[in-house]
Chain A
Amino acid sequence: MTVRILNASGCLDALAAPEVARSLDAFVTKTITPEPREGNPPVRIAETDHGMLNSIGLQGPGIDAFVASHLPRLAALEVDLWVSVGGFAASDFARCCAALDGEEAVAAIELNLSCPNVEEAPETAAELVAAARGATKKPLYAKLSPAQWDVAAGARAVVDAGADGLSLVNTIRGLALDPVTLRPRLARAVGGYSGDALRPIALACVYACASAVDVPVVGMGGVSTGLHALELVAAGASAVALGTILFSDPQAPGRVRHELRAEAAARGFDNPLAARSVSVAGFGKPLQIALNGTA
């Protein structure tokens, strides 16, 4: 066992770039919905000083076409396959999971409970997980939003509902304006914010959830180096996913894996996974802020 390197859902098309998918320990698909979706109108992406916004809107073939035509080609890549599923009601999650339950090529299902670019389901995250749980025996990873005050409570709820693991975190909603017109740069105004600036937020969520529940955590959010990956492991993750960095550097999986080993070894860990011991006992009490504003 070591720290597995995955891609964040929606940040890689394994059929367009199979060599990149093969460089991962597992490939996670873009989120599949029950029906085909064209996604949101362009403009869909906007770079900001420390990251990027996206508003793709779950463009995809729908679960039936995915199973019939995409899945066999993905299976032929011979890389562990995780399928991300999403929807607009608990029944959508159930339908997608039921369609994947008998597919041998699918190692795990990630439940996208937190896409910032589409309408939310009326049910709670726990209810969506429970519906998925009822439809499949596959390992279920619940992907949570960092935009909740008590993410650990959210984690406990989805684990109680049957999630086998957590994917932390999804993008967080953001807005970028054109500096001349002061109009939104994205066609749908707001989008999901990712990249460098998401990293401390992801670390806090991973730490909070890993302290609250005893399931594997895939950490993600602004990872672009092995040290970033090791930090997520130290905070409690047992696997790490790469997102925005894949857009600029498709060779990142191999590089991050190599750097992760070196960074772990430099700190006396034979195996990067051993860095989890740093936070097992807790990072200590939350920092007390003195009344005069100094820590």
Chain B
Amino acid sequence: MRRELLRVAGVEPVGPYVLLRLGRGGLDPGEPGQFFMLEAPGRPLPRPFSLCTAAAGELGFLLEPLGPGTTALAALDVGDQIHVMGPLGRGFELDVAKPLLVGGGIGVAPFPFLSERLGGPPALLGFRTAFHAEAAALVPNATVVLDPVLVTDALPDRPGDVLACGPAPMLDALARIVPGAQLAREAPMACGYGACYGCVVERDGRYVRLCLEGPVLREAA
């Protein structure tokens, strides 16, 4: 478990989102779907983000400035420094025969790194507006659907090995339609390393810590 002070290398708008690029320091990018805890300047708790891009010497995170933490992160300037801890948790299993990336909104975040590792598999991405859909440019080989069309409407008959990230209703629907899908979940998280028990999700009638068991969970096939 490594935590370092990293320097901001870039803060770039991607539609309504922001790609925050940090110098990597001594941190390892880990596996796609793993996450990092980023210090949110002026806030008591850090925020979890999956790694979006892993350019040489950098770690890139896609964020949507909505609350006080993401807004503070989006307001960082090149040269600013923040504490970053990671990589944490369990990412996607990459040993899949016919991968299909399925994402919704800011759930596109882990896909650029994931797509790179999987050799550019097809991706199906859903967004609220064309402005949000500008983030699809980060993912090679992507098909985009816009609201009110849902990604679940556009799934092929034989979707193959689905690796997904997006809002909970989308993931819940995929869990029903595609048994065995790998779903990157999200939960409010104080620590990211199993200390706080804040991020639990229900699995088989028990509460498990998403930061340790996930964030990528494989639905029962």
Interface positions of A (Cβ within 8 A of B): 10-13, 16-17, 19-20, 30, 38-39, 42-52, 54, 56, 59, 195-196, 244, 246-251
B45:A247 contact, CB within 8 angstroms: yes
The reply to whether A47 and B197 form a contact with Cβ atoms under 8 Å apart is: no
Chain B, range 36-86, C-beta contacts under 8 Å to A: 37, 39, 43-46, 68-69, 83, 85
Which of B17-25, B95-103, B186-194 lies at the interface with chain A? B186-194
Closest 8 CB pairs of A and B: A16-B194, A45-B198, A247-B191, A247-B190, A44-B198, A56-B197, A13-B194, A47-B45
**Interface check B212, CB cutoff 8 A:** yes
Contact bitstring B149-177, A, C-beta under 8 A = 1, else 0: 00000000000000000000000000000
Give A228 Cβ to nearest chain B Cβ, in Å. Answer: 14
Determine whether B195 belongs to the interface, using a CB cutoff of 8 Å to chain A.
Answer: yes
Which residue of B3, B44, B187 is within 8 Å of A251 (Cβ)? Answer: B3
Verify if B207 is at the interface (C-beta below 8 Å from A).
Answer: yes
Q: In whole angstroms, how far apart are the Cα atoms of A39 and B199 in the complex?
A: 12
Query: What is the CA–CA distance of A31 and B197 in the complex, to the nearest angstrom?
Result: 12
Q: Are B197 and A10 in contact (CB under 8 A)?
A: yes
Q: Which residues of A contact B199 (CB under 8 A)?
A: 42, 44-45
Q: Is the CB of A246 within 8 A of B45?
A: no
Interface residues of chain A: helix, strand, loop or mixed (majority): loop
**Interface residue? B137 (CB, 8 A):** no
Q: Is the CB of A50 within 8 A of B44?
A: yes
Cβ-defined contact, B195 with A247, below 8 A: yes
Q: How far is the CB of A52 from chain B (nearest CB, A)?
A: 6
Q: How far is the CB of A133 from chain B (nearest CB, A)?
A: 29
Bound together, the chains give a CA A17 to CA B83 distance in angstroms of 18
Known: A17-B1, A50-B44, A247-B45. A39 touches B200 (CB 8 A): yes
A38 in contact with B206 (CB, 8 Å): yes
* A91, chain B: closest CB distance, angstroms: 26
A51 to B188, CA, bound (A): 15
Contact of B200 among A13, A49, A59 (CB under 8 A): A59
Distance to closest chain A CB from B206 (angstroms): 6
- 26 chain-A/chain-B pairs, Cβ below 8 angstroms: A10-B197, A11-B195, A11-B196, A13-B194, A16-B193, A16-B212, A17-B1, A20-B195, A30-B197, A39-B197, A42-B199, A42-B207, A44-B197, A45-B188, A47-B45, A50-B44, A52-B190, A59-B207, A246-B191, A247-B195, A247-B196, A248-B45, A249-B3, A250-B1, A250-B3, A250-B191
**C-alpha spacing A62/B212, complex, angstroms:** 21
The reply to whether A47 and B212 contact each other, CB–CB distance below 8 Å, is: no
Task: Indicate if B201 sits at the interface (CB-CB under 8 A).
Answer: yes
Do the beta carbons of A13 and B207 come within 8 Å of each other?
no
Within 8 A of A (CB), among B1-22: 1, 3
Q: Which of B191, B201, B206 has the most CB of A within 10 A?
A: B191
Given A49-B44, A59-B207; 12 other pairs, CB 8 A cutoff: A11-B195, A17-B194, A38-B206, A39-B207, A42-B199, A43-B188, A44-B199, A45-B196, A54-B190, A54-B198, A248-B39, A251-B3
User: With the chains together, A12 CA to B194 CA distance in Å?
Assistant: 7
- Tell me, rounded to whole Å, the shortest Cβ–Cβ distance linking B95 to chain A: 26
In the bound assembly, the distance between CA atoms of A231 and B69 in angstroms comes to 29
Residue in chain A with minimal CB distance to B198: A45
Query: A246 vs B3: C-alpha distance in the bound complex, in angstroms?
Result: 12
A196 to B3, CA, bound (A): 22
Report which of A11, A16, A56, A195 forms a contact with B44, defined as CB distance below 8 A.
A195
Distance in Å from the Cβ of B167 to the closest Cβ of chain A?
15
Most chain A CB neighbours (cut-off 10 Å) among B39, B45, B206: B45
A211 CB, min distance to chain B CBs, angstroms: 30
Encoded as 1 (CB less than 8 Å from any A CB) or 0, chain B from 18 to 36 comes to 0000000000000000000
